[in-house]
Amino acid sequence: MDNIRLFFALCCGILCGACTHTTTPPSDDVLVPLQSISPFPVGVAVDVGRLLSHTPYRTVAETHFNSFTAENSMKMSALRPDASSFYWDEADTLAAFCKQLGARLHGHTLVWHNQNPDWVENFQGTPEQWAAMLKKHIQTVVARYKGTATTWDVVNEAFDDNGGLRPTIWRQHLGDDYIAQCFQWAREADPTAQLLYNDYNVEENGAKLQAVLLMLDDFQKRGIPIDGIGFQMHILDTYPPLPSIHAAVQAVQQRGVLIHFSELDVSLNFAKTATALTEGMKQRQRQRVEDIVSLYRTIPAAQQVGITLWGIADTDSWIPNFFSRLDWPLLFDEQYNPKPALYGFLDALRK
């Protein structure tokens, strides 16, 4: 997959070197809060510490967004210092922030192979004890935020890019049907929350999507309570091609379930060739964001969970650290000023 991404990124870099772009946004660009004109929730992943300590960060969060995901504070490593206790401070702070704003808390994530505490990784027990440990975690967390976290990523990234079930500790100790069990435990804890399976590269319309569709069909046949799919949408300016994303969305849409674009960012420097953000790159990102939001608007309203950005400003993004490269994947710049991509989002909402 990485080779395909690299190919698209390089082609686009070459082509866009020849493009001419305006250096300022069109003069009729009018800045309004995203959430004020959006027919669906517009969300963002936040760092709770930064929300409390950094005024520009908080101001943008409060102004533009009406759904919040904890970037890290609701993962098992954050909530579970040890087997017998829970650490709620950060998650509770975010829940209170959401309540105060009248915003949604999107729960992320109950079950994942990353960011598990050491005591979980080293847990010794029978399959029944593993199941009891995970059930307690899921049900305690879901029950605590019942009514506030109205949507949940129950299981995150259970499939690899070839469509196989990842060999996670959960699969290893609970068996291949663990995903279904997790959804059932979550439903028992909150009969009204919308329960989602969340993954990346689903939008490529490839083997991983097929695995997710098979799971969805199987769960629907067996009455396993799954309400929808989160397309993470960690995408490039040029990859996946829009028709692939559209086909993937339609395949899920046809099954009648909810669709969340749950972690959107648009990376501009996959090939690591850029040393600064150019006007051409900004405009390419603006168009890409407009295309993605326009595509999301083709989904029937009853199936829309919303679009969530994975961070506020470029400096908040996970991408530069994780991939060791410069990048500018989000809607706001380092000073928390809107980038052209924000206007691309607004353009698509105004259509």
What residues line the site for ligand G3I (CB under 6 A)?
A: 71-72, 114-115, 156, 200, 232, 263, 318
CB nearer ligand G3I, residue 66 or residue 262? 262
Quote the CA–CA distance of 169 and 275 in Å, as a whole number. Answer: 40
Instruction: In whole angstroms, give the CA distance from residue 97 to residue 118.
Output: 30
**Residue written as token pair 């949604």:** 104
To the query of whether residue 157 is one of the catalytic residues in this protein, the response is yes
User: Hey, how many other C-beta atoms are within 10 angstroms of the C-beta on 58?
Assistant: 17
Nearer to ligand G3I, 310 or 343 (CB): 310
Question: Smallest Cα–Cα separation from 340: which of 291, 275, 296, 285?
Answer: 285
351: Cβ–Cβ under 8 A, 6 or more apart, which residues? 294, 297
List the catalytic residue out of 71, 90, 157, 203.
Answer: 157
In whole angstroms, the minimum distance from the beta carbon of 169 to ligand G3I comes to 15
Nearest residue to ligand G3I, by Cβ distance, number only: 318
- Provide the minimum distance between the beta carbon of 112 and ligand G3I in the complex, in angstroms, as a whole number: 7
Burial 256-294 (b: 16+ CB within 10 A, else e): ebbbbbbbbbbbbbbbeebeebbebbbbbbbebbbebbe
Query: How far apart are CB 156 and ligand G3I at their closest, in Å?
Result: 6
User: Which of 244, 243, 267, 281 lies closest to 320, judged by CA?
Assistant: 267
Question: Which of the residues 71, 90, 203, 263 is marked catalytic?
Answer: 263
- With respect to ligand G3I, which residue has the nearer C-beta, 108 or 173? 108
Please report how close the Cβ of residue 44 comes to ligand G3I at its closest, in angstroms: 12
Active site residue 263: yes
Instruction: Name residues whose C-beta falls within 8 Å of residue 126's C-beta, 6 or more positions apart in sequence.
Output: none
Name the residue nearer to ligand G3I (CB basis): 115 or 298: 115
Q: What is the per-residue DSSP string for 267-300? A: ES-TTS--SS--HHHHHHHHHHHHHHHHHHHTS-
Q: Give the shortest CB-20-to-ligand G3I separation in angstroms.
A: 34
Q: Which is nearer to ligand G3I, 88 or 287 (CB)?
A: 88
Question: Which positions ≥6 away from 154 have C-beta within 8 Å?
Answer: 109, 110, 111, 138, 182, 183, 186, 195, 196, 197, 226
From the CB of 71, what's the least distance to ligand G3I, in Å? 5
| Per-residue b or e along 77-101, where b marks 16 or more CB atoms closer than 10 Å to that residue's CB | bbbbeeeeeeebebbebbbebbeee
Nearer to ligand G3I, 42 or 78 (CB): 78
User: Mind telling me the catalytic residues?
Assistant: 157, 263
